[in-house]
Amino acid sequence: MRLSTLASLDDLLGTIDMLCIPASKEMLDVLHTEVLSLLIPAETLPPVSELLANKKNNTLLFYGQYKGTRIKVLIACECEKLKESNIYSICKKLAIRAKNENSIRTGLMVHHLSSTDIVQSAFAGWTAGQYDLGLYKNGEDENGRKSTSSVHSFIPHGFTQFAENGITIGLVQHEVMTLVNVPASHKSPAALGRWAENSASDYNYKVNVINKEQLLKLGMHALLAVNRGSEYEAHCVVTHYQHPEATRKIVLIGKGVIFDTGGVSIKTSKNMHYMKSDMAGAAAALGTVEACARLGLKVNVMAIAPLTDNSIDNTSIKPGDVISSYLGKSIEVIDTDAEGRLILADALAYAVKEYKPDVMIDMATLTGSIVASLGPQAAGLFTNNDSLAAELSAAGNISGERVWRMPMYDEYQDDMQSDIADIKNLSEKPYAGATTAAKFLEYFTSDHPAWAHLDIAGMAFQANGFGKSYCATAYGVRLLVKWISQN
């Protein structure tokens, strides 16, 4: 995505054939007077009151002209006031809608936006909205949609770099979405390792791809246990970006189950094809490190991504098995479909021992329970650190990638006690599944004082406008970049 900046609104209108405007209800009067009246004859331009009454799906499409050139005007207006938390989704929807119009020279109007952060979020949303889901389509897209490689804009002085940063974040999200949307037939732990190596080479940060033989020497027995039924060897990818002025170490851990059949505790066939998304946490963690490197943020940040699929074979782990772990603790496997917490257990313990982070955050599409609790509106936030909870909540509210703090009472740990092993991987009670999963993970953090778990099962894969069914959202990248930038 290339940004072409113009010196004035007049220059912008003289360059484009379509103008996209993120708006709020409070600014429609000004837009009506200062923009629409320039493009649309007064006798055909309806008053503001009719614009609000007749809009469909919160968008307004007009056909006008400027100095003899025809221009389409697309306005998205769905809120009282534009903020960083809503401008991203508004501009993303504008970009998706604009594809249907097949314009050649598209402009995004941002000079009415009030802050650099809002401008950055606007261009992140616009860029994300240019994503092409048809990864394996041959020939023309059946929907006739055409993404644009550039966008024109008149940007206030001092805001251009923030617009470029927004585009960078949107492009990182493209990569994260592709990692998740690619089917299991076209990705493997080794393939994600190669992606990380290429990214690190392109953007000047470090990477270490740990193969199966090395995992055995390290003692990552829980990850290897999940991997036993797979035709592809497990890997653990570690990436590291460090700015010379960084003062604390942040480690991000992402669940990387390439495809989840449920193992011997097999899932039902309905919607199992969506389980290619079970590595969305790993993709978001890896993508966040890349984003920090590309933006040059003053941070010392790492991503650890344990990678395997959860398949069925005569060597697969079975319910009732007892396995070991990197921490040396034994785990009774009650359900092989609770595999994500097993691979995270090894990654968390490895992060604490090997890298001694100041802050540690894991992201995982971990439980259906959190979807039942929060739906597709927020990720579940689990932590005993009040300051970290407040920071992440604030970053979520500002960025629009919201989190909601869930309880972590000690009593929930009782539900994870095993008669035969140190801990079991599933509570057998029919409630609080997301919290008991978090308590399982907590067991492997060695009581780290600044650890948080984000259950992103309801946020990472949604019906979000790119196609007819669910697809990746890249949830977590903007949340963590905002949190890192603020703290």
Which residues form the catalytic set? 267, 341
CA distances from 89 to 236, 385, 465 (A): 33, 30, 11
CB distance 238 to 254 below 8 Å: no
Each as own residue / partner, the long-range contacts of residues 138-144 (CB below 8 Å, 24 or more positions apart, any chain) are 143/100, 144/100, 144/102
Q: Which residues contact 468 (CB under 8 A, 6 or more apart)?
A: none
* Residue in this structure with the two tokens 């261009």, named with its chain if needed: 123
CA distance 144 to 195: 30
Helices (H), 55-156: 84-101, 116-128
- What's the burial of 210, exposed, middle or buried (CB within 10 Å: 0-12/13-18/19+)? buried
DSSP-assigned letter for residue 480: H
CA distance 361 to 229: 28
Beta strands at 300-310 and 235-242: parallel, antiparallel or unpaired: antiparallel
Reading the block at residue 358, the tokens are 């100041």
Question: Within 13 Å of residue 340, how many CA atoms lie on the same side as its CB?
Answer: 32
CA distances from 251 to 175, 194, 231 (A): 20, 21, 29
DSSP 3-state of 175: helix
- What's the burial of 51, exposed, middle or buried (CB within 10 Å: 0-12/13-18/19+)? buried
CB distance 386 to 460 below 8 Å: no
Minimal CA–CA distance to 60: which of 70, 45, 80? 45
Encoded amino acid at 367, one letter? T
Minimal CA–CA distance to 237: which of 275, 271, 205? 205
CA distance 155 to 479: 25
Q: Is 410 left (phi over 0), alpha (psi -120 to 50) or beta?
A: alpha
